[in-house]
Amino acid sequence: MNTIGIIAALKREVKSLIDEMEGYPYFKKSEISCHPVYEGMIKGKKVIVVISGVGKKGAERATRILVDSYSPDLIVTTGYAGSLSPDFVVGDVVEFTRAVSKSGEKIDFIIPTANHDPPIFLEDIQNEITILTVDRFIASVAEKKELGRRLKASIVDMESLYVGKIAVECGISCLGIRVVSDDLEMELPKMSGILNREGKVIKVRAIRYFVRNPGAIIPILIFLYNIGKTTRILAEYIEKNAFL
């Protein structure tokens, strides 16, 4: 039986998938090196979900846990992404098998083939979309445009390069599936400190932040609304996608 490993930075990004797993036999929840791990069956396939937390270190640890403990046949890196291109707007789901760093380091994932079990739809992958992986939240429109143009990347996140790198080292097929949570032209205020590791608002910190930065209230509310909207879109896409 093939095993599908899924890595997401935040539980909310894959909550509906975890909820579906709970409805099948053999569901198990555990924690390895502070990373929540969910094991179960979906449509006859064994699925392992690991929550990595945001950024490089968590993504690397989560991928090692997945590889060393579960030997998956396919690794999927998923969650939110910002747009670096006018071609992708809030709510678009993007598949990719190439990642690049800010310094220009590139990783081409081992692409799942059409006869992979479970099969993979390759229509979007053939577009050779590249995701940029960075070490901080990119909020400025000017910076988004500069990075997208210079590195020829369409979307940006903080984990996929590190997941794909380890997958390649271990000879495991890898697929990126991200949903766009902010457009290229959407200028975002710096939200460092008001969101916890699960992406939830820390109310006390948020109030203090808004008192000091009243002009940030509307942009942040729009962003949080988009997060809720895109979470539902991503969940529906994953559940309907061929790999499940």
Q: What is the pLDDT of residue 83?
A: 95
Q: Tell me the C-alpha distance between 82 and 157, whole Å.
A: 7
CA dihedral sign of residues 190, 238, 99, 173: positive
What confidence category does residue 193 fall into, taking pLDDT thresholds of 50, 70 and 90? low
Q: What is the pLDDT of residue 91?
A: 93
Higher per-residue pLDDT: 204 or 73:
73
Q: What is the pLDDT of residues 11-67, one digit of tens each?
A: 989 988 898 888 778 899 999 999 999 999 887 788 999 999 888 999 999 999 999
Q: What is the pLDDT of residue 121?
A: 47
CA dihedral sign of residues 136, 141, 142, 147: positive
Residue numbers of the domain that contains 36: 3-240
Q: What is the pLDDT of residues 76-107, one digit of tens each?
A: 999 999 999 999 999 999 999 999 999 999 99
Q: What is the pLDDT of residue 94?
A: 92
Q: What is the pLDDT of residue 199?
A: 59
Taking the alpha carbons at both ends of the chain, their separation in whole angstroms is 13
CA angle 129, 18, 167 (to 5 degrees): 40
What is the arithmetic mean of pLDDT over 62-74? 94
Residue 75: pLDDT over 60: yes
Residue 168: pLDDT over 50: yes
What confidence category does residue 219 fall into, taking pLDDT thresholds of 50, 70 and 90? confident
This prediction has a pTM of 0.85
What residues contact residue 220 under an 8 Å CB cut-off, 6+ apart? 188, 189, 191, 194
Range in 4-8, 74-78, 107-111, 166-170 with the lowest mean pLDDT: 107-111
Q: Tell me the C-alpha distance between 182 and 83, whole Å.
A: 6
CB atoms under 10 Å from CB of 37, counted, come to: 19
- CATH number, domain with residue 104: 3.40.50.1580
Q: Which of 65, 100, 84, 117 is nearest to 176 (CA)?
A: 100
Q: What is the pLDDT of residues 102-161, one digit of tens each?
A: 999 999 998 876 555 544 544 545 467 999 999 888 888 999 999 999 999 999 999 999
Q: In this prediction, what percent of the chain has a pLDDT beyond 70?
A: 84
Number of structural domains (the chain) is: 1
Q: What is the pLDDT of residues 223-236, one digit of tens each?
A: 777 878 888 888 88
What is the arithmetic mean of pLDDT over 189-206? 65
